[in-house]
Structure 1
Amino acid sequence: MFIAHLPAGYLLAQHLLKRICTIPVSPKAVLFTVMVGAIAPDLDMLYFYFIDHRQTHHHKYFSHWPSLWIGLLCTSMLATGLTRKQSLPFLTLIFSLGGLLHMLLD
């Protein structure tokens, strides 16, 4: 679960830091946010083990729906475009990129 997604998030963050000229946050914030986004869909494992008692495979939960991550990505792209100087929409954008990367790897 975290074995592949965490390093993939790190590689994505390093790629983004090389490609994006100006960012409204520190490089450490970019690295942390993308890596958290890359493992965020698997946080449903807590529900899977402790509440659902492994009745439903965790890939069927809403956190593993690609439409959720694509919608979050589109919304954050719009918000980042409208508010260029603020960091929260940008952090949401790169968080959703990490989540979408997770979907691609699954």
Structure 2
Amino acid sequence: MAALLSLVLRGGVLLAALLVFIGGVEELLAYGDRPASALLRHPVGLEAWALAGLLPRALAGQPEAWVALGLWVLILTPMARVALSALLFAWERDWLYTGVTLWVLTLLILSLLGKI
């Protein structure tokens, strides 16, 4: 159980790092010749972080979308670990820990949605 949970965490962090790295390289290739002050004058709105539109934008060559995808993966990785923990506890028929883990997962989801 511990090995599988550690694999999820390691894999999520490595995937997030890869996505941010891809975005950073694309950013340097696209805007590397411009001063940083010119790039910082155009703030990115919250709609740029909408998860549904990130993959098409990243595949269209928008470096900030790759970075945002990497950060989303980094945010969702611990949540995936908690969800997997709940499944593994249920599989072992450990109902107390299943309940506690589902409660923690509920709190994580609500906090991500800004409800608590």
Same fold per TM (> 0.5)? no
Task: Report TM bin, short chain.
Answer: 0.3 to 0.5
Give the alignment's TM-score, normalised by structure 1: 0.33
Larger Rg: 2
Give the alignment's TM-score, normalised by structure 2: 0.31
